[in-house]
């Protein structure tokens, strides 16, 4: 059975990802924290989906490669920026979230996740600054909502075979 050209499995995967990333975004925006109790199951479900048959064609091997590359790169960025700033610059929750994203998307999604996350976070900070009348960039900016938008956007693009993913 199909709905708008997508099978129920694809809709279920999109629903799970949307609900989990939506919850993580709200929590991170309000608290500055990405709870493992949501991130870990999100990653596990992504790996299970890759094993069963990912609607975006990610094999379990590529899911593991994606998680390792995403986590390694973000952990390295966290370490470098924290050293340069002299304080923690990115939480481990962000590292874990991109690792979970790698389990859903494989390694191909990372550059796009990063681009969308960066743009979304800066736009969010700009909008928050306009609303509050204070520049947000002098404080903390949660990266989780931007990462969530990036992961979800790349997944949807891969489902729809949009742009460069239509190769």
pLDDT score at 19: 97
What value does the mean pLDDT take over residues 128-153? Answer: 79
Distances (CA, A) of 85 to 27, 75, 80, 90: 25, 15, 9, 11
Over its C-alpha atoms, the chain yields an Rg (Å, rounded) of 16
Q: Which of 79-93, 114-128, 135-149 shows the lowest mean pLDDT across its residues? A: 135-149
What value does the mean pLDDT take over residues 78-88? Answer: 85
Instruction: For tokens 């991109």, name the residue.
Output: 98
Q: Over the stretch 38-53, which tens digit does the pLDDT of each residue have?
A: 999 999 999 999 999 9
Q: Over the stretch 105-118, which tens digit does the pLDDT of each residue have?
A: 999 888 888 888 88
């Amino acid at each position: 059975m199909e709905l708008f050209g997508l099978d129920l499995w694809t809709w279920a995967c999109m629903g799970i990802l949307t609900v989990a990333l939506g919850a993580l975004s709200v929590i991170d925006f309000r608290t500055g924290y990405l709870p493992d109790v949501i991130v870990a199951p999100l990653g596990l479900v992504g790996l299970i989906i890759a094993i069963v048959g990912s609607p975006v064609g990610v094999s379990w091997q590529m899911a593991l490669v994606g998680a390792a590359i995403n986590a390694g790169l973000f952990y390295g960025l966290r370490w470098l920026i924290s050293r340069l700033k002299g304080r923690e610059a990115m939480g481990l929750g962000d590292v874990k979230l991109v690792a979970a994203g790698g389990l859903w998307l494989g390694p191909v999604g990372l550059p796009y996740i990063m681009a969308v996350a960066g743009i979304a976070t800066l736009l969010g900070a700009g909008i928050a600054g306009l609303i509050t009348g204070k520049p947000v960039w002098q404080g903390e900016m949660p990266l989780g909502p931007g990462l969530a938008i990036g992961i979800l956007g790349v997944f949807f693009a891969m489902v729809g075979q949009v742009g460069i993913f239509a190769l």
